[in-house]
Amino acid sequence: MNTTASSLHTDHGGTRAFSPVGIIWLKLAVVYLIIGVGMGIMMGASRDFTMRPVHAHINLLGWATMALAGLIYSVFPEAGLSKLARLHFWLANLSLPVMAVALGLVITGTTALVPVLAASEIVAALGILVFAANLFINLKAR
């Protein structure tokens, strides 16, 4: 069996590379992991846990959800290459940075940003709905 990094699993006796469509998701996810973990370490060191919800959302929406999307889109390239996947990508990746910054500012007193926070949360939720629709429509057994 070919064991190079690009041929990660076998299919019907042959070797086959994973689709590259998930790679951008996985690289962005690990950037969010670094930011989320950095915030966690800073909260622990300072004993100031105000940013706890920002930390949790960066880790769970940024790291966990995006890494899962990357893995799913790698294993099921029909879903990863669809128009819905492209829409999901932009909804998720435009909403989360805005949401994280707005949430951090709102919980530290800038309540004027509540509408921005709400709008970014709606866009993030739309991204999740598009993700769900994509999986229901485009995940097929091969």
97 is an interface residue for ligand HEM by CB under 6 A: no
Percentages (nearest 5) of helix, strand, coil residues in the chain: 75, 5, 20
Q: CB of 57: closest distance to ligand HEM in angstroms?
A: 8
Q: What distance in Å separates the CA atoms of residue 103 and residue 114, rounded to the nearest whole number? A: 8
- In degrees and rounded to multiples of 5, residue 14 shows phi and psi of -105, 180
Only segment of 22-30, 59-67, 70-78, 108-116 that touches ligand HEM (CB under 6 A): 59-67
Separation of first and last alpha carbons in the chain: 21
Residues within window 38-57 making contact with ligand HEM, judged by CB under 6 A = 40-41, 43-44, 49, 52-53, 55-56
Residues within window 18-37 making contact with ligand HEM, judged by CB under 6 A = 36-37
Site string for ligand HEM, 61-90 (x = CB under 6 A): --xx--------------------------
